[in-house]
């Protein structure tokens, strides 16, 4: 078995790749892409400036002064466009920035603050800003390349290639602006946001298949390793490195907090089974802590975001039960996908098949509670939502194994009791208790 794969249960899967703190920092910021684009455009401008000088020098050496004069005429015509671009591009950037702020504000207020992450990490948004700023800088640099000398025999440079490059950047900027507006409008639609969150949640399932492991198989706990970094949310652990460390020391490491838990210095983060603990320094760099949860290894974060969207839709300030139904659709889809597989723990082995790392994940009952508890508590007076919930419970009960039906039956009964208390009219109550996959169509 290669170092890039592990055995989980009876399946061989690729080890989840560790988060790079630098990469995550750059993805969560807006300065890196524009700065990199401006550096690149400066280098390209220097190269094209040198080529323009070389072309003019070659034509002058060959006595092709008419050709030089034609190039000068073209660049003078292009100068008007370059000047217009340099003066208008900053206004264009301001428009794009304003659109982004409005979109982020609307998404955070209408859906959930957790979905703002999708806007911040949007590649098309960062690329649009980067190209716009690069075009603005390039237009300024090209204007400095114009020679005041009008004699084709003594002129030193004619920004011919630079003008073409600027026109190409303007065309690219217009194309990216259309793509950016289209992407932003899609991100403001609740169906697209919910679909994107669900896609991220299923990526976690694909990268982190669950395998059952009990503490009794691991032997007694030798020592516990305390966390020594800064306080924050546990976002990720370096699976491959932890397996190598445990194999080198002949031990089994068990992660005590779950991904998504808030950890503070001094609390135990690893339990060591079967031997002495590795150095704290070696284990410290295997744990990634941040200010917010990430989809990377967090099995329950997708449900958390979907539940937040449903709750926000059911609040009196928003009062949008149709959006809540769309969130419930995806919650049912996610639970149906994980409902037949093993949960509670992940067990990773080394190349020899020995268990080296045990990682806790939410169990079935916890996932059901996370997906339905809060929405169910707010849905009793919304017949569209209650009907969709009853249909969802019925679908999951038909798919889940016998031993996993208890949480579903409990939530179904609690929802029925809530409807009984909240809807006094018998006809309305019977209507709200009838399962319907579309709510009220």
User: Which stretches in the chain have pLDDT values below 50?
Assistant: 1-11, 13, 210-216
Q: What is the pLDDT of residue 213?
A: 43
Q: In this structure, are residues 252 and 366 in contact, taking their beta carbons and an 8 Å threshold? A: no
Neighbours of 383 (CB within 10 A): 21
Closest Cα partner for 332 from 306, 361, 312, 311?
306
pLDDT at residue 19 in the model? 62
Residue pair 110/312 in contact (Cβ under 8 Å)? The answer is: yes
Model confidence, pTM? 0.79
Confidence (pLDDT) at 17: 61
Rounded CA-CA distance 328/392 in Å is: 8
| Whole-number pLDDT of residue 11 | 44
Please report which residue ranges of 318-382 form alpha helices under DSSP H: 321-338, 364-378
Rounded Cα gap, residues 142 and 167, in angstroms: 11
pLDDT at residue 381, rounded to an integer: 86
Report the pLDDT value the prediction gives residue 70, as an integer from 0 to 100: 81
Bridge partners, residue 224, by sequence: 271
Tell how strand 355-360 and strand 345-349 pair up: antiparallel
Concatenated DSSP letters of 281-299 = HHHHTTEEEESS--SSS-T
Cα–Cα distance between 335 and 28 in angstroms, integer?
29
Please list, residue by residue across 284-308, b when 16 or more beta carbons sit within 10 angstroms of its beta carbon and e when fewer do. Answer: eebbbbbeebbbbbbbbbbbbbbbb
Structure tokens at 239: 């699976």
Q: Lay out the sheet containing 262-263: strands in order across.
A: 262-263, 232-237, 287-290
* Element housing 221 (H / E): strand 221-226
Helices (H) and strands (E) in the chain, counts: 15, 10
Q: Report helix, strand or coil for 20.
A: coil
**389 close to 376: Cβ distance less than 8 angstroms:** yes
């Amino acid at each position: 078995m290669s170092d890039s794969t592990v055995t989980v249960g009876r399946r061989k899967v690729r080890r989840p790749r560790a988060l790079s703190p630098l990469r995550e920092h750059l993805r969560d910021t807006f300065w890196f892409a524009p700065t990199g684009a401006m550096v690149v455009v400066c280098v390209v401008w220097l190269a094209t400036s040198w080529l323009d000088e070389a072309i003019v020098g070659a034509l002058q050496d060959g006595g092709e002064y008419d050709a030089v004069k034609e190039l000068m005429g073209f660049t003078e015509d292009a100068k008007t466009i370059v000047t217009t671009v340099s003066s208008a591009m900053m206004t264009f950037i301001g428009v794009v920035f304003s659109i982004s702020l409005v979109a982020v504000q609307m998404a955070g207020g209408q859906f959930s603050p957790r979905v703002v992450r999708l806007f911040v990490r949007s590649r098309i948004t960062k690329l649009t800003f980067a190209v716009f700023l690069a075009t603005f800088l390039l237009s300024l640099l090209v204007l400095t390349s114009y020679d005041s000398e009008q004699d084709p025999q003594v002129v030193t440079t004619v920004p011919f290639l630079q003008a073409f490059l600027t026109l190409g950047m303007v065309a690219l900027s217009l194309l990216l602006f259309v793509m950016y507006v289209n992407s932003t409008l899609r991100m403001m639609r609740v169906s697209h946001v919910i679909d994107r969150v669900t896609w991220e949640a299923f990526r976690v399932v694909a990268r982190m298949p669950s395998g059952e492991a009990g503490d009794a198989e691991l032997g007694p706990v030798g020592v516990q390793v305390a966390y020594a970094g800064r306080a924050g949310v546990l976002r990720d652990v370096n699976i491959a490195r932890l397996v190598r460390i445990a194999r080198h020391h002949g031990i089994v490491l068990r992660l005590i907090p779950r991904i998504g838990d808030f950890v503070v210095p001094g609390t135990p983060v690893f339990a060591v089974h079967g031997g002495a603990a590795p150095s704290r320094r070696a284990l410290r760099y295997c744990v990634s802590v941040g200010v917010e949860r990430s989809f990377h290894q967090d099995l329950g974060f997708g449900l958390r975001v979907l539940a937040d969207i449903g709750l926000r839709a059911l609040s009196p300030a928003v009062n949008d039960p149709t959006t809540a139904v769309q969130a419930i659709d995806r919650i049912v889809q996610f639970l149906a996908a994980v409902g037949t597989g093993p949960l509670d723990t992940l067990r990773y082995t080394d190349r020899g098949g020995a268990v080296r790392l045990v990682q806790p994940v939410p169990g079935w009952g916890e996932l059901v509670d996370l997906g339905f508890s809060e929405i169910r508590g707010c849905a009793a007076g919304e017949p569209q939502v209650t009907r969709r919930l009853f249909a969802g419970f019925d679908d999951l009960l038909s798919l889940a194994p016998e031993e996993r039906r208890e949480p579903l039956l409990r939530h179904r009964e609690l929802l029925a009791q809530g409807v009984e208390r909240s809807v006094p009219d018998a006809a309305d109550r019977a209507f709200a208790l009838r399962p319907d996959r579309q709510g009220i169509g």
